[in-house]
């Protein structure tokens, strides 16, 4: 279930990568819901990762492949027994390619209320520019 | 928009210790990604909730990513707990192109009935990293007791 279908977005700048991803940690893997939107100066990614602490979140960007891994520890303590179980804890995993050049030094990540907000500023060269046309 | 209201018997609850709801979420997500995005969470049980017990108390844990404390209301009556609230997502703006729009705004109202009585004065709730934890101490009379057998 964690492996997701690959589909390119028409005209978009981020493409989901067909995941040749091997699990190295025990426990289930989940696909977090994401929003990705793009403005002239930056790409913003929001991902729902309830239960993940900032220490347990890995964000990796290399060669334009962005990988998110958020490990969620169970809140339960020893001695608790199940009455109802609707969800499991495990690792949220997702991977994208970004075709625009990202200014890697200026990436900002925030994790608030279980939602990751990743700001990926575009490097100067890749920002759209208005070319003024001179009229005679 | 009331999504779910469940009051199954305890026995049925215990029988459903499995991952079906999570799988259903994943399936909906997959269907969404093929169909181009409908309302994933609205079809399933939102928010996903686990309930555990110890001899002293019950713990309800609910996944609520992006829900603020101010948008959450918890109330109790008899053996029941109601968790209501709203999860907002940023509205679409002009001049922004969206590559993914999977996170949905949602209003929810879950009613949970616990298998035995709890002390409504001592219920505690906290919201940490998008997970709501409600701790409900059992009343003395509802705590399990071991009966010594005399010969």
pLDDT digits (tens, 9 = 90+) for A121-136: 988 777 777 777 887 7
Judged against a pLDDT cut of 80, whether residue A24 lies above it is answered with no
Asked if the ipTM is above 0.85, the reply is: no
| Residue A32 exposed, middle or buried by CB count within 10 Å (0-12, 13-18, 19+) | buried
* CB-CB neighbors (< 8 A) of B99 in chain A: 9, 12-14, 36-38
Distance separating alpha carbons of residues B84 and B55, to the nearest angstrom? 27
B114-136 confidence digits (pLDDT tens)? 999 999 999 999 999 999 999 99
Look at residue B18 in the predicted model and tell me its pLDDT: 43
Please say whether the beta carbons of A48 and A33 come within 8 A.
yes
Look at residue A17 in the predicted model and tell me its pLDDT: 58
Interchain proximity B54–A81, CB inside 8 Å: yes
Distance separating alpha carbons of residues B116 and B68, to the nearest angstrom? 30
CA B63 vs. chain centroid, Å, equals 6
Closest-CA distance, A73 to chain B, in angstroms, reads 11
E strands, B67-105, are 72-77, 80-87, 97-101
Question: From the CA atom positions of chain A, what is the Rg in Å?
Answer: 18
Helical residues (DSSP H) of B36-94, grouped into ranges: 40-43
Please say whether the beta carbons of A37 and A44 come within 8 A.
yes
Interchain proximity A31–B34, CB inside 8 Å: no
Question: B10-92+100-142 is classed in which CATH architecture?
Answer: Sandwich (2.60)
Distance separating alpha carbons of residues A70 and A113, to the nearest angstrom? 14
Q: How far is CA B68 from CA A113, B50, B65, B72, B131, in A?
A: 7, 20, 9, 7, 11
Could you tell me which residues come within 8 angstroms of residue A64 by beta carbon, excluding any fewer than 6 positions away?
A: A97, A98, A99, A101, A102
Q: Which of A66-70, A106-110, A125-129 has the lowest mean pLDDT?
A: A125-129
Domain ranges of chain A: 24-120
- The continuous run of DSSP H or E covering A109 comes out as strand A108-112
Residue of A47, A50, A82 to mutate when probing chain B, most B C-beta within 10 A: A50
Look at residue B23 in the predicted model and tell me its pLDDT: 65
Distance separating alpha carbons of residues A82 and A123, to the nearest angstrom? 50
Express as a percent the part of chain B with pLDDT over 90.
Answer: 52
Instruction: Domain A24-120: give its CATH code.
Output: 2.60.40.790
Interchain proximity B29–A31, CB inside 8 Å: yes
Domain ranges of chain B: 10-92+100-142
């Amino acid at each position: 279930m964690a492996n997701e279908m690959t589909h390119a977005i028409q005209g978009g700048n981020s493409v989901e990568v067909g995941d040749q991803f091997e699990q190295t940690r025990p426990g289930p893997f989940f696909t977090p819901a994401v929003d990705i939107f793009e403005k002239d100066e930056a790409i913003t990614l929001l991902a729902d990762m309830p239960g993940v602490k900032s220490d347990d979140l890995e964000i990796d960007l290399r060669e334009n492949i962005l990988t998110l891994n958020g490990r969620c520890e169970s809140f339960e303590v020893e001695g608790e027994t199940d009455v109802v179980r609707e969800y499991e804890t495990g690792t949220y995993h997702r991977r994208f390619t970004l075709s625009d050049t990202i200014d890697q030094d200026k990436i900002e990540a925030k994790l608030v209320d279980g939602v990751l907000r990743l700001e990926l500023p575009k490097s100067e060269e890749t920002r759209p520019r208005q070319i003024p046309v001179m009229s005679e | 928009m009331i999504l779910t209201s469940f009051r199954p018997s305890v026995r049925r609850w215990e029988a459903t210790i499995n991952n079906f709801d999570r799988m259903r979420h994943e399936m909906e997500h997959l269907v969404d990604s093929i169909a181009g995005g409908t309302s994933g969470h609205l079809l399933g049980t939102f928010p996903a909730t686990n309930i555990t017990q110890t001899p002293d108390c019950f713990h309800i844990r609910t996944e609520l990513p992006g829900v603020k404390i101010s948008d959450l209301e918890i109330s109790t009556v008899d053996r029941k707990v109601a968790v209501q609230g709203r999860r907002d997502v940023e509205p679409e703006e002009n001049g922004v192109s969206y590559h993914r729009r999977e996170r949905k705004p949602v209003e929810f109202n879950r009613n949970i009935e616990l298998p035995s009585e709890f002390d409504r004065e001592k219920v505690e709730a906290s919201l940490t990293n998008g997970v709501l934890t409600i701790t409900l101490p059992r009343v003395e009379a509802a705590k399990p007791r071991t009966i010594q057998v005399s010969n």
